[in-house]
Amino acid sequence: MDNCHISEASSLDDTVDGAVDDKGDPAKRSFSGAWKSAYFIIGMAVVERFVFKGIETNLINYLTGWLGESTVAAAANVNTWSGTSTLLPLLGASIADSYLGQYRTIVIASVTYILGLGLLTLSAVLTSGSSSNCKNRNKTTSCSHSELQVFFFFFSLYVVAIAQGGLKPCLQAFGAEQFDQRDQEECKAKSSFFNWWYFGLAGGAAVSYLIMSYIEENVSWILGFGILCLFMVLGLLLFLFGARTYSSQELEDNPSSGSYRRGGSRKPSPSPRFLNKALLLPGGSGEKGKACSLSDVEEAKAVLRLFPIWATCLGYGIVLAQPPTLFTKQGTTLDRSIGSGFHIPAASLQFFRALTVLIFIPIYDRIFVPIARSLTRKPSGITMLQRIGTGIFLIAITMVIAALVELKRLKTAEEYELVDMPKTTLPMKVWWLIPQFIFLGISDSFTSVGIQEFFCDQMPNELRSVGVSLQLSIVGLGSLLSTSLISVIGKITSGDGRDSWFSDNLNRAHLDYFYWLLAGLTAIGLAVYLFFAKSYIYNRSTT
């Protein structure tokens, strides 16, 4: 499916129709937009991922170690925070699209991000005295903090979540907006933008997995949070430095008013048809004294048409909640030694997921897409929905691999009679966990990138930030659903004095059962997804 709407006049004219530069003048291709501005935006996104993953990756170890929480409580807190962080973009995107605009929202959110990181660093300073007896993370019972200290830590954490809610959707939508769909070269470049966008995110995450997890676990949490705050300041400066190259869509009014630059005269889209009845209400043209405009109805249709695809991707979102929580806790029980004296942090295993993305994205963009393009005659090689479905299939395979590896870990504990010695490192190398991270990375390269492009592309231009936030909400709601699953299953399986699937003693837990359950849920979700994807009609009018 070709989403490019090529205009010969647009390709020859240096002025971008309907776009303005940072001064409010008509945007010129030779000075603004496309890759000239996208590099700065991607750079800011790389920094943001470095910072966010620097918090998220090791958060469960901070909670179970320094705050002395149980595995179930810590996993629930991490998933709740991660879920909230990726659901708040729905609010942030709505505010940006209706009131502030993407650029101003990005700047305000970045400043709030820096404030949250500063407070997080301060919270680490305030708890450093009471944490002095907690340096041995195996002795979590000796950790003691006041309720005020714990409250201040979580308050700081959620300030970061609020900031991310405004920054993440606007940054990606603003980047995609730099490419004019009516220009042939920029249209092709836009598809590559999403690939290189995710490549950049993976790069920022990979560096964070390697460096920040080590600093936080082996040097100082205060230093770790302080470094993250400094990098966020540098990221904001980089974004502001590129302001002169940015172009923005010029709107006559905000989307909430129903008055768009590209209003024009057009017919209602074919589905969902029942919403067309809103146009038959008395005076239904969206003007004074009238109920609904055509633009209002088309916005509602755009969102409703995406709902089945969004809902069937939630299983994928649940699986994405596992690497920073249960996968990481598994790693803490295995032999992480390299050589005679160095032990890699368990959280740094996620580096292999990011590394896989860094390797696979260029292969996909430079080799797979041209080959597929020659066969399908589509600029993107395969459709966005085909790309998403491939990734969902791979994520199901990931959970099968994870279940088999966990089964081996449990058998190793039993074989060496270490079941009731949870603090003893099992004679099993941590490298056994790498295959599941590799498959997760390949799946990300298909589904995460595909979802980002799909929801951004299929929403009206004026609501692209909302489209990006819908993609993020899959991860957010997936994290919250994972929290609920863990909580409910933990209570059910711990009855009658039994060890639950998520026992603090992982040698008596059954994470393998949970992974099999997730594999089954993902497979069912894939079947339903294929049903809706087959009947989905792409909205060509969005571009």
User: Is the predicted pLDDT of residue 455 greater than 90, yes or no?
Assistant: no
State the Cα–Cα distance between residues 519 and 516, nearest whole angstrom. Answer: 5
User: Is the predicted pLDDT of residue 268 greater than 60, yes or no?
Assistant: no
- The two counts, helices (H) then strands (E), for the chain are 17, 5
Structure-model confidence comparison of residues 273 and 99, the more confident one: 99
Q: 3-state DSSP call for residue 26?
A: strand
Residue 126 contacts residue 47 (beta carbons within 8 Å) = no
Residue 533 contacts residue 449 (beta carbons within 8 Å) = no
Q: Which of 113-117, 135-139, 308-312 has the lowest mean pLDDT?
A: 135-139
- pLDDT, tens digit (0-9, with 9 covering 90-100), for 253-266: 444 444 333 333 44
State the Cα–Cα distance between residues 81 and 93, nearest whole angstrom. Answer: 19
Angle at 349 between CA 347 and CA 354, to 5 degrees: 110
Q: 3-state DSSP call for residue 489?
A: helix
CA-based nearest residue to 219, from 299, 126, 135: 135
**Across all residues in the chain, what is the average pLDDT?**
79
CA-based nearest residue to 348, from 75, 81, 58: 58
338 φ, ψ (degrees, to nearest 5): -125, 115
Residue 284 pLDDT: 46
State the Cα–Cα distance between residues 463 and 459, nearest whole angstrom. Answer: 6
End-to-end CA distance of the chain: 13
Residue ranges and CATH numbers for the domains of the chain are: 28-250+296-542 (1.20.1250.20)
Residue 25 pLDDT: 61
The whole-model pTM stands at 0.71
Crossing angle, helix 294-312 and helix 511-535, to 10 degrees? 140
- pLDDT, tens digit (0-9, with 9 covering 90-100), for 36-67: 788 899 999 999 999 999 988 888 888 877 77
CA-based nearest residue to 17, from 368, 5, 304, 532: 5
Please give the helix or strand (H or E) that residue 44 lies within, else none. helix 34-65
User: Is the predicted pLDDT of residue 12 greater than 70, yes or no?
Assistant: no
Crossing angle, helix 434-458 and helix 147-176, to 10 degrees? 60
Burial class (CB in 10 A: 0-12, 13-18, 19+), 228: buried
CA-based nearest residue to 299, from 251, 258, 261, 263: 258
- pLDDT, tens digit (0-9, with 9 covering 90-100), for 309-341: 999 999 998 988 888 778 888 888 999 888 777
Question: How far is CA 152 from its chain centroid?
Answer: 26
Query: Which alpha helices (DSSP H) does 219-368 contain, by range?
Result: 221-241, 294-312, 314-320, 328-332, 351-363
- DSSP per-residue letters across 345-392: -GGGGGHHHHHHHHHHHHHIIIIIHHHHHHHH--TTSS-HHHHHHHHH
